[in-house]
Chain A
Amino acid sequence: MSGDYRKMWESIGLDLEAHDQLLQALPPTYGEVYLTQENRPAMDYFDFVVNEIHGLRIQELQDHKAAGGKVIGTFCVFVPEEIIHAAGGICIGLCSGIEIGSAQAEKVLPRSVCPLIKSFMGFKLARVCPYFESCDMVVGETTCDGKKKAFEILNDYVPVHVMEVPQMKREKDRLLWKGEVGDFLAGVEEVTGKRVTAESLARSVREVNGKRRALARLSGLRKNSPAPISGKDSLLIEQIAMYDDVERFTLKVNQLCDELEQRVRDGVGVHSPGAPRIIVTGTPMAIPNWKVPHIIESSGAVIVAEELCTGLRYFENTVPEDSESMDQSLEAIAERYLNINCACFTPNTGRMEKLVSLAGEYNADGIIHCSLSFCDPYMIEANRVEKVLKEKGIPMLKIETDYGQEDVGQLKTRIEAFLEMIS
């Protein structure tokens, strides 16, 4: 990190000592996972953003707050970020991709809880995440049971607005969800003290759609063989999408895509042309969780798509931009979000259909299903995924893992054996 940010960290209430430890844990991994890749496209901006993850971007949030703006943190891609923008707020996806503050988290949570939940609780209780500490409100949801109950506890430490996400997608569920989106709007207005107008909402819808289109453009370029960018770099960009400034990020992704288009025309790729093409699917991979993608790509394969919430689920489908009233806008927003295929829904057949069509579109040789340990929704749904993929003759490998490194050797053997099997 370039500047000296200690004063700022102290002023937002971080535990500086614990925070130093966290920072020490970060950079070497990044260098090893990212900077050793061969033939990367120009990723300077994204490398810079990661490098300044606790620096410049936090400074921007503080400046925004000093000018009266608010920061709202989220944990799930169901939370409509355009509403936060429309009220002049900044939306931050809180990451939780590293094991930190487990001892503190286990004071309030059982041990057998998914690492993502344990991580966000640990981040908050250990006071090491400057994003978390910058939040004026965080938004929870009733998706999986673990998160739902953990938000009750989290509310002791930071105000949590909980959105009720339905468990099914029937007409009455759509109505319920639309009501929730409306309540969320009211909650956001209260925190920011700003009214959302039809105009501000329409503008914000266009902006966030712009980000989605840029990400979709990036994703589309990966259908080419050889793929012009690695899966690890793409995942990184998708992770950064959750906390970076919307307009700047969109611009940078589009610039990168210009370069990638040129690469495609020149037939330049990041892996050898015969490298097996893999799609990963499963639980979200929050920054800095690059464990499985790193193993996959260092075993000679290339990841061409992520059917993840840090991936396609975040940016596929846009919100229609032709709404004529506030109410229509909200309806369109609610509709777009309810189309996300999350394993917390029953049934979730949309996800299986999506995977089958992705395998064709991206010319994938196999699918790797990764769930975090103790994540019931995805671990159990893996069975449905396996069944459908088997019927279609698409090879699949099922992995269950956490943020620890003990199982890396075994995962490597399983992934290599899977690649041997499909190539």
Chain B
Amino acid sequence: MLSAGIDIGSRTIALVVSNGKEIVQSAVVDTGFDPVKKAAEMAAGLPREVSVTATGYGRHAAKSGFAGQIITEIKAHALGAGHLFPGARTVLDIGGQDMKVILLDEKGNVEDFQMNDKCAAGTGKFLEVMAVAMGYGSAGDFGEDSLSGVPGTRISSMCTVFAESEAVSLAHRGADRRDIGRALHVSVIERAFGLIERVGGDLPLVFTGGVALNPCIVQLLRERIKGPVLVPENPQLVGALGAALKGLGKK
């Protein structure tokens, strides 16, 4: 039996079709102007007998449209991460506009969770804005290059607007942009670490969401938690995978 999960986030829509063991089909697209319409189009391309479970902030709109059932992002990431890494105890998800940390019990059930406040600080959006401010063509290049920054430079503000002007004025004073870049990545990690601490943060930890593709963030996270960070091959698909698994009756 096949089941589809669709994760309608603020920046991207991810689709996964799974048979309960592996991912048989997947796609990630930008949300564009009308995310729910786009998601509906993606779902319309699926064979009729495949049930659709929606998650992400667009889930309610999807429910009144094409989705058979919905689950929260929290549950979806817990299911997806637990499937890819059985025995995982903490999931850190950093997406386009939010950050969450989920604590799992030994069976993979959600035991506790924390979400960031309603602002872009510490999210994918934050890193995108900083990449532009530091003159990089993409957030990927920004992360890659910041890996070689050295510690010592500090960004004190978590707020996207203030952090940006801090970074720019450091650059004007002649600081190396890789060091500034590293400091900006550290500020994201500090925020994530705060949430991890609040739920207890047992190991092993799985890192999901688009920001998990950023090598500098992964490296700094390893150092901060002093332990291994498990990153799935396609971290942006984990929520959609979890939703697909839910459709197959996983709890």
Contact = CB atoms under 8 A, between A and B. Distances in A.
Nearest to B110: A421
A50 B75 CA distance: 39
A413 B72 contact: yes
A417 B110 contact: yes
B118 A416 contact: no
A420 B57 contact: no
Contacts of A420: 71-72, 74-75, 110
Contact of A417 (B57, B74, B98, B109): B74
A409 B71 contact: no
A197 to B, nearest CB: 56
Given A409-B57, A414-B113, A414-B115, 12 more contacts: A406-B118, A410-B115, A413-B73, A413-B74, A416-B72, A417-B113, A420-B71, A420-B74, A421-B109, A421-B110, A421-B112, A421-B113
A421 B73 CA distance: 12
Contacts of B74: 413, 417, 420-421
Contacts of B202: none
Interface string B63-87: 0000000011111000000000000
Nearest to B113: A417
A172 to B, nearest CB: 39
A417 B115 CA distance: 11
A173 interface: no
Contacts of B223: none
A183 interface: no
30 contacts: A406-B118, A409-B57, A410-B98, A410-B115, A410-B118, A412-B60, A413-B57, A413-B72, A413-B73, A413-B74, A413-B115, A414-B113, A414-B115, A416-B72, A417-B72, A417-B73, A417-B74, A417-B75, A417-B110, A417-B113, A420-B72, A420-B74, A420-B75, A420-B110, A421-B74, A421-B109, A421-B110, A421-B111, A421-B112, A421-B113
Interface of A: 406-407, 409-410, 412-414, 416-417, 420-421
Contacts of B115: 410, 413-414
A22 B111 CA distance: 43
B135 to A, nearest CB: 33
A416 B60 CA distance: 11
A407 B74 CA distance: 17
- Minimum-distance CB pairs A-B, first 5: A417-B74, A417-B72, A421-B110, A416-B72, A420-B75
A354 to B, nearest CB: 24
Interface in B36-79: 57, 60, 71-75
Binding site of A, secondary structure by majority: helix, strand, loop or mixed?
Answer: helix
A171 B98 CA distance: 50
B34 to A, nearest CB: 17
Contacts of A421: 74, 109-113
Contacts of B109: 421
Interface string B101-127: 000000001111101001000000000
A204 B197 CA distance: 53
Q: Give the most central of B72, B113, B115: most A CB within 10 Å.
A: B72
A272 to B, nearest CB: 16
A368 to B, nearest CB: 14
A283 B113 CA distance: 23
A407 B115 CA distance: 12
Nearest to B109: A421
A412 B115 CA distance: 12
Contacts of B71: 420
Contacts of A413: 57, 72-74, 115
B118 A407 contact: yes
A414 B75 CA distance: 11
Nearest to A414: B115
Contacts of B75: 417, 420
Contacts of A406: 118
Nearest to B116: A410
A410 B72 CA distance: 11
Contacts of B118: 406-407, 410
Contacts of B112: 421
A362 to B, nearest CB: 23
Contacts of B98: 410
Contacts of A416: 72
Q: Give the most central of A406, A409, A421: most B CB within 10 Å.
A: A421
Contacts of B111: 421
A417 B55 CA distance: 11
Contacts of B72: 413, 416-417, 420
A413 B110 CA distance: 14
Contacts of B60: 412
Nearest to B75: A420
A410 B71 CA distance: 14
Contacts of B57: 409, 413
Contacts of B113: 414, 417, 421
Nearest to A422: B110
Nearest to A390: B112
Nearest to B115: A414
A269 B84 CA distance: 41
A416 B56 CA distance: 12
A421 B103 CA distance: 11
A150 B74 CA distance: 41
Nearest to A400: B117
Q: Give the most central of B60, B71, B98, B113: most A CB within 10 Å.
A: B113
A420 B112 CA distance: 11
Q: Give the most central of A406, A407, A410, A413: most B CB within 10 Å.
A: A413
Contacts of B110: 417, 420-421
Contacts of B73: 413, 417
A417 B242 CA distance: 14
A420 B113 CA distance: 12
Nearest to B251: A420
B248 to A, nearest CB: 17
A407 B117 CA distance: 9
A421 B102 CA distance: 11
A319 to B, nearest CB: 42
